Structure 1
C-alpha cells in the first residue's frame, strides 16, 4: 500500500465556548464567599472596577459625638459576639507544655516531650512511634517510653494514646469507680467487645450479659477523642443565596444580596485615561471596560438563574416548606431543568454550594433533589423520596424496643406495609448513611 501526502478539505461542526460564556458559567457556580473573593481579585486587576462593601457605612463624626443612642439588645449581642471572636484560645500543645513546667525534666527529656507533643493529631492521639521519637533525639527506647508515660499522665486523661484501646484504658486508670470488668474487657477482649460478641464473652468471663451491658454503659462515659476540645477550628458561616418568607400561607422568595459588594464603574478614570493618544493604553481600557461589562452581565444572569431554580424548587416542594421535612417530594435536576427550560448541567451548577434561608432554618439547595422510590400506589402522583424513606427508618429505630431491635428485613417489611417497597439491602444502605449501627449492635441487655 502506497501512502502519499495530500491536501484534504473537511467540514466539521464544533461547539466552542466564548470567554464570556466560560466566565458566566464559572460565576454561576460560585458560592457567595467565592463570588466576593472573585470580585475583590477583579478589582485589583481592573482599574475601572470599584467595589463598595454593603457593611461599611460613612459616619459624620460631628453628628455621632452629639447623638446619644440607646444600645439595643441586638447591638449588645453583636458587640459581645465580636469580642468573643478576638478571645485567645489555648491549643493542645500549649495546654500540655504548661503542665510540663511543673515537672523536673532534663534537656533530653524536654526534647523528647516536644517530639511527642508536636506529633499529636487533633484528637490527641500519637502519630509517631517510640522508635521514631528516640531516633530523632538520639535516646533509648526506655528513655522515650519514660517520657511518654509522663505526657500520658497529664490532662486531659487519655492524651498521647497510640490506639483507642490505650486511650480508654488510660482514662479508666484515673477513675477509682472503674469496675474490674471494664478493665478486663478493654485490656484482654477489646476486639470481641467492640464487635459485640457478648455471648461469647459472657461464657469466657463467667459473667451475665447484664453485667457486660453495665460495663458498656460505663465505657460510653469515656472520651474517645480527648484532644478535640482544644481543636479551635474557626467556624465557617454559611451565607444564604435565597430567602424564603411565609406570609399568611403564601410563599415569597427573594435573593439575598446584602452580603455582596456593589460594583461601580470608574467612568472618571476611563474618561481621563482615554484622552491619552497611546494606542496600547486605549486598547487596555477597552479590554477592561469589556471585562467589566461581562462581569456585570454574568452576575445578572446568575441572579436570574438562581431565582428561576429557586422558584421551581418552591413550586415542587411547597408541602416541605409549609408542613415539614417529611413531605419532601422526589425531584431531580432534570425535572427542574425541563421546568425552567435550561440544561441540566446549568441547574447543577446553580445549586452547587447554595443555601436557602427559611422559617424552619437554613437548607442546602441540593437537599431538595431526591430520586423517586417505588411505592405500592398505582397512581403516578404518589411517590416517595429517599429522604422520606430515611426519615421513616430513623423514626422506626428511635421507637424500637432496644431489647429486641428491628432487623433490616423487618424494617423493609414494615415500610412495605406503609406502601414503600425497599429491599433489605437498600434499608441497610440508608441505615448506614444515617450512621445507625446494625440491630445486633443496637441490642441492649437489661
Structure 2
C-alpha cells in the first residue's frame, strides 16, 4: 500500500463567539433579553444596565397570578416554611418560561417507577396537545414506540396503559384525558378523595359526565332526570358542579394567557399607510460604562492582552449585537406590515397568505433567521397585540382561483358561528357547505380542525 501526503483546500464555516451571541439574542423575547442583559452586566464591569421598570413590575404581577392558580391545585397539601423560597423561585420560572411538558417532566422524575416506565410517561406527556388532552389512541402510540419496549404486544399495551394512569395522576387535575368526559372524570375522582364534600352530588356529577355529557350541552334536563333517577334540583346541582371544572387543564401554560407582553414594534397609520416603528419602552437599557473605559484607556491597559481588554471587547460585542437585533426585528416587522396592509384596516378576514421564505428573500436573510425573529416578538396596533408568527399562514385556493390564507378562513368560520342561532347551532358539515357556496372548497375535517384551533366548542356544546 502506497502512503502519500496530499494538500487539500477545504472551505469550513465556523461560528465565531460574536455570531453565536447574535443568533442567541435574536431568539429571545423582551423579558428573556432583560434577564440576559442583567446577568451580563453582573459579570462585566464595563456594562451599565438599567432594568426596565415596566418589565420588572409586570414580572412580579405575572408570578403572583400564576402562584394563585398553582395553589388551587395543591390546596390540600400545605407547603412548609422551609420550602417557601424554592416554591417562589419556581413560580417565577413557570410564569415566564415553563411549558406544560416541562412542568409534567418535573413531576414524572419524582415518581417511584422504573426507568422504562418513566420514559413511556414522558413520551405520553409529549403527545399531549395544548389543552392537555391525549389525542392519539393507545394502539397508535404502541406502534410508534414498540421497538423500544422489547416485549410482546399484550404486555407492551399494558405498560402504556399503566403509564397513562400515572400521567393522569399528575397536576394539573384532568391532564392526559383522551376526551372531555375523561378529563372531567379525572378531576372529579380527585375531589371524591377529599373530605368535607357532598359525595352524593359529586358521584351524580361523575355519572352524568361519563354517560350523558352531550345532554348537559343541549340542556336536556328531562332526559338527565330519567336516566339518573334523580330530581331536577339534584341534576341541576350536579351540572353546576361540572361547570366549575377545568375543560382545558393545559390552558394555563398558554404563553399568550400567562405571560405579560411588551410589544417590540408599534404600528401606526401615516398618510393612509400603515408603518412600523420601534417601541421606545421596549428598548434595552444597556451601554458602555464610560468611567471604567476611561480609566482603562488612561492606564494604557487597553493595549494589553489581559482580562480587562477581553471584558471591554465583550461589552462592545454585546452592545453591537443588541443594536443589530433591533435593526433585524424592525426590518422583518416592516415587511410583514407592508405585506399585510389590509389586515390592519379590516382585520383577520383580509389576511394574505405569507410564508417565512418570502420575507427572507425580500430582506436577504436566511429563513432560519426569520423564524427566530418571528418567535416571541410582538407588534401593537389598533386591533391589539399580535405575535409576528400570527401573520404567516398557508395558502388555500378558492373556487375562482384567488388565493386566501388559512387565517382568513378561520375568521370566516368564526363569523358564521357568531351569527348562528343559539338554539340551532351550525354543524361543521354545514359550515363547509356555506364556505363552498362562497367559493371556498374546505373539507369538513378542516373546518373541525380550525374550530378546535380557535377553541370553539363542537355543535352539541354550543346549543342553548
Q: Name the TM-score class by shorter chain.
A: 0.5 to 0.7
- Mapping for residues 116-195 of structure 1, pairs under 5 Å: 163-166=186-189, 186=205, 188=207, 190-194=209-213
Q: Structure 1: where are the runs of 5+ without partners? A: 57-77, 99-126, 133-160
Deviation of the 1:242 alpha carbon: 0.5
| Equivalent in the alignment of 1:352 | 375
Is 1:32–1:241's contact at 8 Å kept on the other side of the alignment? yes
Deviation of the 1:367 alpha carbon: 0.7
| Equivalent in the alignment of 2:411 | 391
* SS at structure 1 position matched to 2:280: coil
Distance 1:410 1:273 in 2: 75
Is 1:36–1:260's contact at 8 Å kept on the other side of the alignment? no
Please identify which structure carries the higher helix content. Answer: 2
Determine which of 238, 251, 254 is the counterpart of 2:277: 254
- Mapping for residues 406-445 of structure 1, pairs under 5 Å: 406-439=426-459, 441-442=460-461, 444=463
Q: Give yes or no for the alignment of 1:300 onto 2:323.
A: yes
| Equivalent in the alignment of 1:364 | 387
Distance 1:279 1:54 in 2: 31
CA shift in 2, pair 1:218/1:434, >3 Å: farther
| Equivalent in the alignment of 2:47 | 49
| Equivalent in the alignment of 1:287 | 310
Deviation of the 1:218 alpha carbon: 6.7
TM score, norm. by length of structure 1: 0.62
| Equivalent in the alignment of 1:141 | none
Q: Structure 2: where are the runs of 5+ without partners? A: 79-106, 113-183
CA shift in 2, pair 1:41/1:385, >3 Å: same
- Paired residues in the alignment total 342
RMSD: 4.7
Deviation of the 1:215 alpha carbon: 4.8
Determine which of 354, 357, 363 is the counterpart of 1:340: 363
Distance 1:197 1:258 in 2: 48
Q: What is the CA deviation profile of residues 12-46 of structure 1, one whole-angstrom value per residue up to 9, with x for unaligned ones?
A: 32222222221111122221112222222221222
**Larger Rg over CA atoms:** 1
CA shift in 2, pair 1:175/1:276, >3 Å: same
TM score, norm. by length of structure 2: 0.60
Distance 1:362 1:26 in 2: 24
| Equivalent in the alignment of 2:97 | none
CA shift in 2, pair 1:196/1:251, >3 Å: same
Distance 2:390 2:318 in 1: 29
Is 2:432–2:447's contact at 8 Å kept on the other side of the alignment? yes
Q: Give yes or no for the alignment of 1:311 onto 2:311.
A: no
Is 1:372–1:384's contact at 8 Å kept on the other side of the alignment? yes
CA shift in 2, pair 1:5/1:257, >3 Å: farther
Is 2:44–2:311's contact at 8 Å kept on the other side of the alignment? yes
Q: What is the CA deviation profile of residues 215-266 of structure 1, one whole-angstrom value per residue up to 9, with x for unaligned ones?
A: 579715651159x9xx9x9963211100122356342321113344433323
- Mapping for residues 204-283 of structure 1, pairs under 5 Å: 206=226, 215=235, 219-220=239-240, 222=242, 223-225=244-246, 236-247=259-270, 249-273=272-296, 282-283=305-306
| Equivalent in the alignment of 1:21 | 19
